[in-house]
Structure 1
Amino acid sequence: MKGVLLNNLGSPDSTNIKDVKTYLDEFLMDERVIDIPYWKRYVLIKGIILNFRPKKSAKAYKKIWWDEGSPLVVISERFTEKLKQKIDIPIELAMRYGSMSMEKGIKNLVDKGVTEIFLAPLYPHYAMSSYETVVTKAEEILAEHYPSVILDTLPPFYKKPDYIRVMSDNIAHHLKDFEYDHILFSYHGIPERHIKKSDPTKSHCKIDGSCCERNSVAHYTCYRHQCFETTKAIAKELDLKEGTWSNSFQSRLLKDPWLKPYTDFELEKFPKEGKKKLAVITPAFVSDCLETLEEIAMEGEEEFLEAGGTHYKHIPCLNDNDDWVNVMKEWIENWNNN
């Protein structure tokens, strides 16, 4: 029997500092998130970051928490329930971090008699700290507990035409009554070293402004290239004028170089350039979460207006949009029928 495991990032169980600390501990100790030697990671996370970050993060989560729970989890559950109404095979939702673990999701499928799993990481782009860690974790669980279960995986869908179409339709819908000077495509940031680590050629990725435009096998695992391709495809689909849109990267951690330009720097710069009516979209996420609802929709607006901007619009993620549900349904059915 075939089954599907949808997988998103995860969330603390509550806004309680203890729950946030537990979640951050698991997340930040992942070697694909903070890729430094274990002993250094242990000292940094458990000895330093977990002594101050949980309180700050708990405060941020409280600003965006819904009555039903974490927005990311609630939205992902709604998306999953809509899919279940359209597809006959078993579907489970799991999170890479937190109590809705991948172990539980896989066990639930196996307990229903599933012997072949279609893993669908809900990340459009390939990155060590998102797509790769989900796939690796699934492989480890199956190897240890269910070695006879077959695993198939949905590839990154950053430029699949049907994904670009629903993304573009969503953006157009939310821009219908908004007159903008500029659209900012803000992607989640990652350290520059992750780009080079993910390069199978160990020579193509230079992060110099040109390597993303040269054809290479490295693009299959290059987050930066894939982000730029998503933006270009959406801009083409929406027929956006050159100069009215740009890319940036948000959510830096530590002092290492991360992908540039930085979103917060761009938000401060735009008003000085006469771009005072700004729309911001976050295409690295399919579900609204802390990084979109608090960092972009709240903090981003405050930074932009303080810098002299006059109008600011955060465009929601696809969330449980019916068209997005139908796209995932088609991808699953194509796999199931092969």
Structure 2
Amino acid sequence: MSEKIKRGIILMNLGSPDSTSTKDVKRYLDEFLMDGRVIDSPYLIRTILVKGIITPFRSSKSAEAYSTIWTKEGSPLVQITYQVQRELQKIIKEPVEVAMRYGNPTMKFAYDSLAQKYPDLEEVVLLPLYPHYAMSSYETAVVHAEDVHKEGKYPFKIAAIAPFYNNPDYISALVESIKPHIKNDGKHLLFSYHSIPERHIKKSDITGNHCLKVEDCCNKPSAAHAVCYRHQCYTTTRLVAEQLGLPAGSYSVSFQSKLGRSAWLTPATTARMEQMPKEGIKDLMVVCPSFVSDCLETLEEVAIREKENFMEAGGETYDFIPCMNTQQSWIETIKKWFLNVDEPVTA
């Protein structure tokens, strides 16, 4: 008699369009930007903004950007997530599925696949592939997974792994991905995180009076830090810098990918690219710890466009550091978390 499988895991990532066609990109952007945790305006205003202004004008430009990084297999982000699935499946017997928050494969597809193939499944572990908590990334992924699970009346229960921004295993894996690029040759290391609106930081503040309201808020202890994206980004940076032994002044933080005119987290990566050569920083390395898999924001925005900005501003060398992707220590870390899901991931 074959062994009954009781537990599975779903790797949850952001998603990508099905192709680089303007039609597919528009469909993807509509789904993504109509999420009330991404653009948190009232529904009617969001609809006018997204479907009347943003996607009609942004879709063709985004399609062009996707075409610069698209592979014969498709979206890098989706394909890398599948590669992680295959590598993880080599070292655990339990089933591994992939789901995207937007686009394909859907969360319903992943749940259905597990339910059909493994009728004795009792628990599914969800791993949102976002190191840091934000309402527009980790939160929306988990809430969506819970909603689909409830609607589908699946027989298994679900459990989500918490944001892992300060988890020692994650930090060690991230350090391992960066270390080969550190040559002690005086290059500056920029940690470029995906930006989010400042209002999201304030809205997520469970105390209601700490984030972006208290001086040096990220460095003053607060219960708000459990869900504060900005604090968690700076914490990841500090822990990585400590493990790499980086001296003060040899690294810095910026935030990329702003959308719209409202106030987002600063300093902006694009602005820093223009400023750093004037400050004497002409040899640069850039890492993007918001992402565990390379995607449009890393491969096209940072590796191509921001490099052009930096070099045009007077930079001399520019080294883009890829995400962890299928790095073995990262795969082993996921295995460890999965097998010990009842233990807290964050310190």
TM-score range, shorter chain: over 0.9
* 2:31 aligned partner: 26
Quick check: 1:79–1:325 contact (8 Å CA) kept in 2? yes
Matched, 1:76 2:118: no
Matched, 1:117 2:138: no
Secondary structure at the counterpart of residue 10 of structure 1: coil
User: Which letter maps to 2:298?
Assistant: T
Q: Spell out, residue by residue over 1:256-299, the C-alpha distance to the aligned partner (whole angstroms, 9 max, x if none).
A: 00000000000110000110000000000000000000000000
Between the aligned partners of 2:49 and 2:122, the Cα distance in structure 1 is 40
* 1:132 aligned partner: 139
User: Which letter maps to 1:300?
Assistant: E
User: Which letter maps to 1:301?
Assistant: K
User: Which letter maps to 1:46?
Assistant: K
User: Which letter maps to 1:37?
Assistant: P
Between the aligned partners of 1:131 and 1:49, the Cα distance in structure 2 is 23
Quick check: 2:195–2:258 contact (8 Å CA) kept in 1? yes
User: Which letter maps to 1:305?
Assistant: M
Matches within 5 A, 1:1-338: 1-111=6-116, 112-113=118-119, 114-146=121-153, 148-176=155-183, 179-206=185-212, 210-335=216-341
Q: For the aligned residues, what is the CA RMSD?
A: 1.5
Between the aligned partners of 1:185 and 1:234, the Cα distance in structure 2 is 10
| Alpha-carbon distance, 1:209 to partner | 5.2
Q: Spell out, residue by residue over 1:27-57, the C-alpha distance to the aligned partner (whole angstroms, 9 max, x if none).
A: 0000000000000000011111121111000
Quick check: 2:302–2:320 contact (8 Å CA) kept in 1? yes
Between the aligned partners of 2:291 and 2:214, the Cα distance in structure 1 is 25
| Alpha-carbon distance, 1:107 to partner | 1.4
Describe the shift of the 1:308–1:331 C-alpha distance in structure 2 as closer, same or farther (beyond 3 A): same
Describe the shift of the 1:148–1:53 C-alpha distance in structure 2 as closer, same or farther (beyond 3 A): same
Q: Spell out, residue by residue over 1:130-185, the C-alpha distance to the aligned partner (whole angstroms, 9 max, x if none).
A: 00001000111111112653111100000111111111111011334x83431100
Describe the shift of the 1:147–1:216 C-alpha distance in structure 2 as closer, same or farther (beyond 3 A): farther
Q: Which has the larger displacement, 166-175 or 17-26? A: 166-175
Give the % identical residues: 51
Secondary structure at the counterpart of residue 118 of structure 1: strand
Secondary structure at the counterpart of residue 335 of structure 1: coil
Runs of 5+ consecutive residues of structure 2 not aligned to the other structure: 1-5
Q: Which has the larger displacement, 109-118 or 324-333? A: 109-118
User: Which letter maps to 2:239?
Assistant: A
Runs of 5+ consecutive residues of structure 1 not aligned to the other structure: none
Quick check: 1:180–1:279 contact (8 Å CA) kept in 2? no
Instruction: Work out the number of aligned pairs and report it.
Output: 337
| Alpha-carbon distance, 1:207 to partner | 5.6
User: Which letter maps to 2:46?
Assistant: R
